Chain A
């Protein structure tokens, strides 16, 4: 593990509604280093998805500062935020992750195309990465021709192919059965560590956090607890009694 790829300082997000103001994220601060895989957990309405949206530069915080690879997100206009998402952030979503008319290889290469970095080497690398994820024989398959788990693995490859500083995963196992869910998260964690990226995974499935290095627990918009040690994490995951 090395320096902080992601630095979150006193982030607050307030939504205006007819009932008044809702504080979805309340003064949250944390850091994630390169090569570290962190889980963001909490009950529904705890603010974890809002937090992930802010980290993904899809939502602006009401207050606070976010540094991704040293670049201050809160000072960027929309054009720069789009460029940051393209260059420094990798994404996997719950579902509908892939572009349906692109093959597995083309979906992964899309990130390189967006960044203007698709050369012969990029194509080779995307195929190697898919092979590493067990999809070497599915390169030319369209998403509709693959299972949910295979689609998630393609999404993981797309999230990592352009070497982003931060990789974000929103409930990546939500649509998978238990066996495939374990497989996906395990592979995801391994690639985060191997490629020295900062990974953050939002999940409601505590069994999945066993592969993470740290767990941030949110409740009512606040960061209420951080699980740092392996035994604390395994206890939370239900592995240890």
Chain B
């Protein structure tokens, strides 16, 4: 019996058994579908939560971030001289540099408030977002704002509208009016949609203590740097450190990992996903092991009449693959349908790469879970199996 004939016969037997015992196999497929739903949602939640925290930083048109030395690469803790951005633009290997100043504020809506990240930028320099609709910020003193699309999704604000933001100045609340001149996308930061203003406006609006009132800030949180050649990052980092004192330079990936809570949150979500997959492996392994134990006499008959171990093993593998693929397909479809019903405020993002990784892992749990039963099936001795009958 050659391999192709064995494979063909194994496929025939596997499909026949699944079709003739559809209810039993579909039950397992449904269990796999539920596990798939859970894993995909955990992956999407991880992606959504991660996005909500890092999206602005990961979408920066920059290769490096410059922090205050000993700020532990924490953006809110870092203070860098605003003027350093001009110095950095002259460093060899640097194409451009732009300031990033972060704070929080609240947009006043007719019936509620919307909490947002307030980001001060230099228009047209690294740190400023890509414009999807409208235009970039105009002059430094114009009362203009660029808003993340999430702001529009969560309110009735439109391009061209005037919005009112509120912040605490000393011990008093004060409001500011800004005109929405541009809309950007994918700019969530610290779990809030971002709004972008010029540094002067940012300094005016940001929450201040009594002692800061009336004083213009000369510092920003970090400076975003764009390199001429991203492959020369290490050299550029050295050049920057030589030109500017008391700073720490890092790449964007490291900057994201150091966003407060980001790594801990992602590790937690990934651990949940791994444990769900492990539970899946145990459930599937248990089902197929019980099934093989019930089929011992039947496998004994097959072997006694001349079926090879290879064919018996392949038949078991094909069955597991059929059940797993059907389960993952149902689970994937259900996940997609559910995802359509979530409002934009729910941090669930079905990212192609993370979903594909989750699906690949799910497709593997069947064969891994069924491994013990496959080995058991191959090792069944026909004579002993027939005596059991």
Point out residues on A near B: beta carbons under 8 Å.
53, 56, 58-59, 79, 82-83, 85-87, 89, 91, 93-102, 106, 110-111, 113-116, 142, 158
Taking CB atoms, residues of chain B closer than 8 Å to A106 are 16
Q: Is the CB of B386 within 8 A of A93?
A: yes
Task: Give bound CA distance, A82 to B310, whole Å.
Answer: 12
Point out residues on B near A: beta carbons under 8 Å.
1, 5, 9, 12-13, 16-17, 20-21, 297-298, 301-308, 382-383, 386, 389
Q: Is the CB of A100 within 8 A of B304?
A: no
Q: Is the CB of B1 within 8 A of A96?
A: no
Q: Is the CB of B298 within 8 A of A102?
A: no
Q: Is the CB of A86 within 8 A of B306?
A: yes
Q: Is the CB of B1 within 8 A of A83?
A: yes
Q: Is the CB of A58 within 8 A of B298?
A: no
Q: Is the CB of B9 within 8 A of A97?
A: no
Q: Given the known A-B contacts A58-B382, A94-B389, A113-B12, are A85 and B298 also in contact in the complex, defined by CB atoms under 8 Å?
A: no
* Residue of B302, B306, B386 with highest tally of chain A CB at under 10 A: B306
Q: Given the known A-B contacts A83-B1, A106-B16, A113-B9, are A101 and B21 also in contact in the complex, defined by CB atoms under 8 Å?
A: yes
Task: Give bound CA distance, A59 to B386, whole Å.
Answer: 12
Residue in contact with A58 in the complex, picked from B5, B17, B308, B383, CB distance below 8 Å: B383
Q: Is the CB of B9 within 8 A of A96?
A: no
Q: Is the CB of A58 within 8 A of B304?
A: yes
Taking CB atoms, residues of chain B closer than 8 Å to A95 are 389
Closest to A113 in B: B9
Known A-B contacts: A58-B386, A113-B12. Give 11 more (CB < 8 A).
A82-B306, A89-B306, A91-B304, A91-B305, A95-B389, A96-B297, A96-B301, A97-B301, A101-B16, A111-B305, A114-B305
Task: Give bound CA distance, A99 to B16, whole Å.
Answer: 11
Q: Given the known A-B contacts A94-B389, A101-B17, A113-B9, are A87 and B304 also in contact in the complex, defined by CB atoms under 8 Å?
A: no
Q: Is the CB of A96 within 8 A of B306?
A: no
Residue in contact with A116 in the complex, picked from B5, B12, B16, B298, CB distance below 8 Å: B5
Closest to B296 in A: A96
Q: How many A-B residue pairs have CB under 8 A?
A: 65
Closest to B19 in A: A101
Task: Give bound CA distance, A106 to B302, whole Å.
Answer: 13
Q: Is the CB of A99 within 8 A of B302?
A: yes
Closest to A97 in B: B301
Q: List 27 A-B contacts (CB under 8 A).
A: A56-B304, A58-B382, A58-B383, A58-B386, A59-B383, A82-B303, A82-B306, A85-B304, A86-B1, A86-B306, A91-B304, A93-B304, A94-B389, A96-B389, A99-B298, A99-B301, A99-B302, A100-B298, A101-B21, A102-B16, A102-B20, A106-B16, A110-B305, A111-B306, A113-B9, A114-B307, A115-B306
Q: In the complex, what's the smallest C-beta–C-beta distance from B312 to chain A, in angstroms? A: 11
Interface of B is mostly: helix
Q: Is the CB of B306 within 8 A of A93?
A: no
Taking CB atoms, residues of chain A closer than 8 Å to B21 are 101
* Residue of B5, B297, B382 with highest tally of chain A CB at under 10 A: B382
Taking CB atoms, residues of chain B closer than 8 Å to A115 are 306
Task: Give bound CA distance, A97 to B298, whole Å.
Answer: 8
Closest to A56 in B: B304
Q: Given the known A-B contacts A58-B383, A82-B306, A114-B307, are A93 and B16 also in contact in the complex, defined by CB atoms under 8 Å?
A: no
Closest to B18 in A: A101
Task: Give bound CA distance, A86 to B305, whole Å.
Answer: 5
Q: Is the CB of B383 within 8 A of A96?
A: no
Q: Is the CB of A82 within 8 A of B308?
A: yes
Residue in contact with A85 in the complex, picked from B12, B13, B305, CB distance below 8 Å: B305
Residue in contact with B306 in the complex, picked from A85, A99, A101, A142, CB distance below 8 Å: A85
Taking CB atoms, residues of chain A closer than 8 Å to B303 are 82
Task: Give bound CA distance, A87 to B298, whole Å.
Answer: 20
Q: Is the CB of A93 within 8 A of B389?
A: yes
Taking CB atoms, residues of chain A closer than 8 Å to B1 are 83, 86, 114, 116
Residue in contact with A53 in the complex, picked from B16, B307, B383, CB distance below 8 Å: B383
Taking CB atoms, residues of chain B closer than 8 Å to A142 are 20
Taking CB atoms, residues of chain B closer than 8 Å to A98 are 301
Taking CB atoms, residues of chain A closer than 8 Å to B5 are 116
Closest to A170 in B: B386
Q: In the complex, what's the smallest C-beta–C-beta distance from A148 to chain B, in angstroms? A: 13
Task: Give bound CA distance, A54 to B9, whole Å.
Answer: 27
Q: In the complex, what's the smallest C-beta–C-beta distance from A139 to chain B, in angstroms? A: 15
Closest to A155 in B: B301
Taking CB atoms, residues of chain B closer than 8 Å to A79 are 308
Taking CB atoms, residues of chain B closer than 8 Å to A100 are 298
Q: In the complex, what's the smallest C-beta–C-beta distance from A63 to chain B, in angstroms? A: 19
Q: In the complex, what's the smallest C-beta–C-beta distance from A104 to chain B, in angstroms? A: 13
Task: Give bound CA distance, A58 to B12, whole Å.
Answer: 25
Closest to A168 in B: B304
Taking CB atoms, residues of chain B closer than 8 Å to A89 are 306
Q: In the complex, what's the smallest C-beta–C-beta distance from A111 to chain B, in angstroms? A: 6
